[in-house]
Amino acid sequence: MGAVTDAPAPTLRIAAAVVVDAEGRWLLVRKQGTSAYMQAGGKIEPGEDPRAAVVREIGEELSVAVDPALVRDLGRRDADAANEPGHRLEAHVFAVDGVTGAVATAEIAEAVWVTPAEAARLPLAPLTVDLLREAGATV
């Protein structure tokens, strides 16, 4: 009998937006039917550029038109998926400036502006925990 090997977890390719206002508050969203707060963003469509995906997702989720010139690449991160058990994320992370007037739409149940200390008291997605820690927050 052969050895049993663990198959790698399925990977989701996403684009995630780190949005921080002038007061140092982070914009986090919670999707309908879920409890974890996370960055706005979502799955990258086949053939779609990650930067274009984050601009599209912010528009869909928060009714905000983002100027692509205000989107800065923060690199790629890997994390466990918050809402799809057994899946991993390959996250293309972007800092997005100039986001104001965000309104939760579509699949978003709630959009909140929180300080890192306030965020630490919320149920957070693993990627969000990693990003807050990178920024120096205790979560």
| Per-residue model confidence as pLDDT tens digits over 26-62 | 999 999 999 999 999 999 999 999 999 999 999 999 9
Counting the structural domains of the chain, the total is 1
* Predicted local confidence at residue 8, as pLDDT: 82
Domain that holds residue 115: 11-134
Question: What gap in Å lies between CA 74 and CA 62, rounded to an integer?
Answer: 21
* Predicted local confidence at residue 138, as pLDDT: 85
CB within 8 A of 13, min separation 6: which ones? Answer: 43, 44, 50, 90, 92
| Model confidence at 5: pLDDT above 70 | no
Q: Whole-number mean pLDDT of the chain?
A: 93
Instruction: Classify residue 1: in a domain, yes or no.
Output: no
Q: Are 55 and 99 in contact (CB under 8 A)?
A: no
| Model confidence at 3: pLDDT above 90 | no
Task: Give the CATH number of the domain where residue 128 resides.
Answer: 3.90.79.10
Instruction: Classify residue 3: in a domain, yes or no.
Output: no
Instruction: Classify residue 100: in a domain, yes or no.
Output: yes
Question: What gap in Å lies between CA 54 and CA 14, rounded to an integer?
Answer: 8
